[in-house]
Structure 1
């Protein structure tokens, strides 16, 4: 065959593969406002940087070879804001992007290259699960022979988008990733509602099974919820901007936006004087960090605590902060799970941690005990001991009970400062007065007042500083500058900003 004929065949085969499931299926997706697999990669990668791997792969079943372009999964490499990234985008127009023997090889290749060469990995999920009848029988289901298929050692960041019906592998990798964003209308579950209905004989609603509310508010597997594919992919790109390409380098640095020092001047206006009054801690965080840099994760889950990536002086930090707006900031079981996952992320990828404290203790009661809150509190403290990145804590107002240690006191952080408004004790003084003296504030108000005064002794920030449990007492308006300076002092110079990663084998979800 002449050289020109060979090139014509190459072009024809390439065009057929690029056509995916055909014009009708692609038009149907467009009418629904959904991007196709290749458009999603175009949105993710810098223009012209995509290098595909496996364009000409097809199903290994003879009857499917002509109808499975790229075997339903588009894989390859590209640049995101100038940095190399590997990605796999499920093509729902080809057999529902179901997993089969050939496209699983592509997935394995992306994971292998990302791990060996130190580049982040992105999963753009939308699939029906395992391909039938390919996986039927012991010969098929037992042929993978890869005990490390779901091993995570966090050598590189993983990010996932749940962008449609995500069953099987799309659900596995969504739940395993360091960041998972879900589009409203998508569903993530082990199996489809149809299969569940067939197995149980009961009708199953997809949204109730694994919709965005389930995974953002109940399971906690999803970090952010968005309205469109475009927003989901943009969120993935933003997430990656805070992280290094691999675990053996420090996160990238960015220019400090103009005006980042302005908002902190008015931070005291956000904090009520009475500890019984609530406020939104997120507004305080925005005053402290570089302007526009706050990237909250799991905002709908464990809402008594805020976890967010941000920047201080252009450098990535992980923020853990109590939020009195919800349950007064009392730490519940979900908040413990949320913080543990965030510790794993920050310690695995060399991100220093800043803790902002205003909490009344743990949320006690039957519900918490049934959720195993006692074990989760201990997991948290164990995690803090294992974290090797710098940990800086600032007590804003109240900090009571064992949770004082969970939020950094008791030697659980590298530096601790108190605002002048801080109050630290085993419990709130008026509660302590009732427990110790048994005084009824309504029947004996003066006696109760005296009892509260006794219980309030030794609870000031200066009492904590006097025993050097706190290293400083600061003006709230100096918080940003103090944190920037202290993070520079605590920078991991001897390892070029790289920690020991003692938590990188911990599971993503608990």
Structure 2
């Protein structure tokens, strides 16, 4: 009889914990077309693999213990694409998924487990922030222990999907992550719009303060954007498929899809011969990479530079590529931040880097200087000099100035080639004529033409190859094959594709 009563009591406690914030709140979410926390978990992990930790946790405040199932955070492990993964999911139906000392303890345990055991860590975030009554006053603040809470050494990948309102730790875990996808309608900020309005006297709404467009287009904190909960979770699963489970192993190798490499002849027409004619570099990457494998990162931010995970010959690579469709391919301050952040990702998780180069230099002017472009250029160079994964550079057309170095020139890459259409120099010869001789084509057409011919001399890919500034000059059609061969030559065979991770402690969020 006692055992039966114990079993009944256990089932009652389990049902209460699984009930989340109650039927009324769950029904309201369902009517709005928004998944609840356990539905999100079920979508993320492979069926039947979730092992929950902390189901019976509640608020440490006695008055709240019966209304805080799992203390607002669903935590545990499960398989994602067949690999064990740690998981922290916020339950907005329980006090707005606000954080207390207990839920913080749960989250700390999962973060530690992921790093210690070599598992990716996924956050499904939606929160009002800290649970205010718990932290008010000196005792509330003094009880905290934040020493290592947000130290990132990138032992294993972190990915975050952001849904709805995200304040407090939901924000911190998002900006710490290696990948963050924002569902449309999301608002993420340090503090809520109401608090900001009261503190500043300035009326702001959520979208203006930290809406998904702000973070996708302006701050660059959103690596991807999704229309629905389901799409956001699918993007997390896809991102993790490119990465190793931890930094001690190489990324997974997959079967090469049928048709990969079959479109190489298109490269001769996709990229116009005239260096002033624009084209979309993203189409070039689709041809060079394995069929259907290009996965853009920060696609809406710093658009003159493309950063994307992809596969070439079944292996994960990270593309950094100029895109003449935007600003003529000129690299601005945002693009510098984007490149540096991507180098950190690749170096931390043993992903070779491939530069596809067609750029007129760094964007100059008042706005550029006020956006600290000089410092960002050197941050990029500092990061690049510490990258220990293989780096391959392919120069397509124009390649000028300091950006020549940042984009894998001057010996900063392990393998480099130029298309036969490449033009390399300190600056655009047309600009150089004006700088050196102070003349324009309109005022002195004959002298301008003569001086331009002088400035443009010795700037072909063959001239760079003559001094071994590149290792080969290639037909555009051979680009994919060149990358494959170069990666085979430089894939850190002695260490099974695992680098030194010198950038693993690089600060997050630019």
Q: Could you state the TM-score of these two structures normalised by the residue count of structure 1?
A: 0.99
Match of 1:98 in 2: 98
C-alpha contact 1:356 1:395 (8 A) present in aligned 2 = yes
Alpha-carbon displacement from aligned partner over 1:204-240 (angstroms, at most 9, x marks no partner): 2100000011111111111001110111000000000
Alpha-carbon displacement from aligned partner over 1:278-314 (angstroms, at most 9, x marks no partner): 1110000000000100000011111110000000000
Gaps in structure 2 of 5+ consecutive residues? none
Match of 1:206 in 2: 206
Q: Secondary structure at the match of 1:133?
A: helix
Match of 2:472 in 1: 472
C-alpha contact 1:50 1:79 (8 A) present in aligned 2 = yes
Alpha-carbon distance in 1 for matches of 2:315, 2:192: 42
Using the TM superposition, give the Cα deviation of residue 422 of structure 1 relative to its aligned residue in structure 2, in angstroms.
0.2
Using the TM superposition, give the Cα deviation of residue 435 of structure 1 relative to its aligned residue in structure 2, in angstroms.
2.2
* Range with greater deviation from structure 2 (32-41 or 191-200): 191-200
Alpha-carbon distance in 1 for matches of 2:31, 2:3: 41
Using the TM superposition, give the Cα deviation of residue 198 of structure 1 relative to its aligned residue in structure 2, in angstroms.
2.1
Using the TM superposition, give the Cα deviation of residue 374 of structure 1 relative to its aligned residue in structure 2, in angstroms.
0.4
* Alignment map for 1:301-312 (pairs within 5 Å): 301-312=301-312
Match of 2:265 in 1: 265
Give the number of aligned pairs.
Answer: 510
Alpha-carbon displacement from aligned partner over 1:83-121 (angstroms, at most 9, x marks no partner): 000011100000000000111111001001101100000
Using the TM superposition, give the Cα deviation of residue 27 of structure 1 relative to its aligned residue in structure 2, in angstroms.
0.7
Match of 1:359 in 2: 359
Alpha-carbon distance in 2 for matches of 1:351, 1:261: 21
Match of 1:139 in 2: 139
Alpha-carbon distance in 2 for matches of 1:439, 1:102: 71
Alpha-carbon distance in 2 for matches of 1:101, 1:439: 70
Alpha-carbon distance in 1 for matches of 2:92, 2:456: 63
* Alignment map for 1:29-40 (pairs within 5 Å): 29-40=29-40
Task: Report the CA distance shift for 1:145/1:443 in structure 2 as closer, same or farther (over 3 A).
Answer: closer
* Alignment map for 1:88-487 (pairs within 5 Å): 88-487=88-487
C-alpha contact 1:417 1:473 (8 A) present in aligned 2 = yes
Q: Secondary structure at the match of 1:134?
A: helix
Q: Secondary structure at the match of 2:307?
A: strand
Q: Secondary structure at the match of 2:257?
A: coil
Using the TM superposition, give the Cα deviation of residue 132 of structure 1 relative to its aligned residue in structure 2, in angstroms.
2.0
Match of 2:23 in 1: 23
* Range with greater deviation from structure 2 (352-361 or 423-432): 423-432
* Alignment map for 1:483-502 (pairs within 5 Å): 483-502=483-502
Alpha-carbon distance in 2 for matches of 1:75, 1:358: 46
1:45 and 2:45 matched: yes
Using the TM superposition, give the Cα deviation of residue 49 of structure 1 relative to its aligned residue in structure 2, in angstroms.
0.4
C-alpha contact 1:344 1:508 (8 A) present in aligned 2 = no
Using the TM superposition, give the Cα deviation of residue 379 of structure 1 relative to its aligned residue in structure 2, in angstroms.
0.9
Alpha-carbon distance in 2 for matches of 1:470, 1:456: 19
Alpha-carbon distance in 2 for matches of 1:304, 1:142: 47
Alpha-carbon distance in 2 for matches of 1:138, 1:228: 41
Match of 1:63 in 2: 63
Alpha-carbon distance in 1 for matches of 2:368, 2:509: 18
Alpha-carbon distance in 1 for matches of 2:359, 2:189: 35
Alpha-carbon displacement from aligned partner over 1:22-52 (angstroms, at most 9, x marks no partner): 1110010011111101000000000000000
Using the TM superposition, give the Cα deviation of residue 2 of structure 1 relative to its aligned residue in structure 2, in angstroms.
1.6
Q: Secondary structure at the match of 2:132?
A: coil
Alpha-carbon distance in 2 for matches of 1:423, 1:119: 45
* Range with greater deviation from structure 2 (116-125 or 195-204): 195-204
Alpha-carbon distance in 1 for matches of 2:198, 2:62: 30
Match of 2:506 in 1: 506
Using the TM superposition, give the Cα deviation of residue 201 of structure 1 relative to its aligned residue in structure 2, in angstroms.
2.7
Q: Could you state the TM-score of these two structures normalised by the residue count of structure 2?
A: 0.99
C-alpha contact 1:331 1:363 (8 A) present in aligned 2 = yes
